[in-house]
Amino acid sequence: MVTAVRHLGPNWYASVMGTAIVATAGSALPVHLPGLRTICAAVWLLSLALLLTLLCARALHWRHHADQARAHLLDPAMAPFYGCLAMALLAVGGGALTVGRYWIGTTAAVALDTVLFTAGTAVGLAAAITVPYLMAVRQKAEPRQATPVWLLPLVAPMVSAALGPLLVPHLPAGQPRETLLLACFAMFGLSLLATLVMLPLVFARIVTGGPLPLVLTPTLFLVLGPLGQSTTAVGTFADVAPGVVAAPYSQGFGVLAVLYGVPVMGFALLWLALATAHVVRARRHGMRFAMTWWAFTFPVGTCVTGAEALARHTGLVVYDWLATGLYVVLVAAWATAALHTVRGIVSGALLAGPRPAPLAPLPVRVRTTSGAVR
């Protein structure tokens, strides 16, 4: 077991995020199918089990393979995935209140979400500061290295902003509720502005530097994360604001949910089409499964919850259909990633170390008929 976790990086937390969002997004669908709530609760329990398993495995990784752990932290391609730890904690915590409470009870769900939200927010804010700092000071990242992975530590506070308001009704009325709501709004702004600074670097790299390497092509879907999650966040603010903040501001949150969410969801659909086109191209060029395929899950899930929020605040049926259609895509992506991940774990391929680069062949020396060697 100790040897098996040597190459277990923080990117594995993406599987927890992707599983939790299937449960959370499914619980708010406008389609009421028999047994859907039970299925979502079961999926949430699976995400909780995955989280606990990975936390233990990563603890073993840090204890017995500290050299590899430090190497991950100083690797500009791997360090941003520490944002996934924060988002995994937050996603499972939020799922406890949305679907888990039907199995474990509201009291236990609130307690679990309080712990996971607090830990996830602390880790997310630390990652949002530490990872960009290391990229600038220790890793010396260059613009040509920019990929959507760089967005991961910056999106984590947005997940806190979207899921934190779920705890607001469980706090004492008055300042405790208003403080948490406005703290979530502050994290919304923190993440949004940081994303607006980073996203042009990613877009410029794609347009001017050519397509991403095949294994990284699925990470284009990560851009959907801040778009869908921010739309979800403003919708959640509008849901809980009445009675928490003064009337003009609570009404303002309702206006923001529509005036911000509609155009951002439009851009998300544009990016979804662009990313899909790149993935189709990469698949034709031989793209094989890697853990980056989990990028097809959580970001799409945030667009589902964003569309659900727009459906609530606009009353438009088109957003109900959009949420349902995207959820079908999410479930298909999750099932595909989960199946390949299980196969990779059973075969040992996913836990094996990186393959050494093949040795360059020695130059061939040919003797010509004249006796010259070349």
Using the 8-state DSSP alphabet, how is residue 168 labeled? G
* Contacting residues for 228 by C-beta, under 8 A, at least 6 apart: 265, 268, 299, 300, 301, 302, 303, 304, 305, 306
* pLDDT tens digits, 284-308: 999 999 999 999 999 999 999 999 9
Using the 8-state DSSP alphabet, how is residue 329 labeled? H
State the residue for tokens 């895509």. 329
Residue 127 has pLDDT above 80, yes or no: yes
Mean pLDDT of 261-289: 96
* Contacting residues for 68 by C-beta, under 8 A, at least 6 apart: 6, 7, 61
| Cα 104 off chain centre by | 25
Which element (helix H / strand E) includes 280? helix 247-284
Least confidently predicted of 27-41, 130-144, 183-197: 130-144
CA–CA distance, 276 with 281 (Å, rounded to integer): 9
Q: Six-digit token pair at 199?
A: 């996203």
**Following DSSP, what letter does each residue of 172-217 receive, concatenated?**
PTTHHHHHHHHHHHHHHHHHHHHHHHHHHHHHHHHHHH-SPPGGGG
**CB environment 109-131: b (16+ within 10 A), e (fewer):** bbebbbebbeebbebbbbbbeeb
CA–CA distance, 147 with 237 (Å, rounded to integer): 30
**Tell me, what's the pLDDT at 33?**
82
Amino acid at residue number 60? L
Mean pLDDT of 206-215: 90
Q: What pTM does this model have? A: 0.91
* pLDDT tens digits, 323-357: 999 999 999 999 999 999 999 999 888 877 655 44
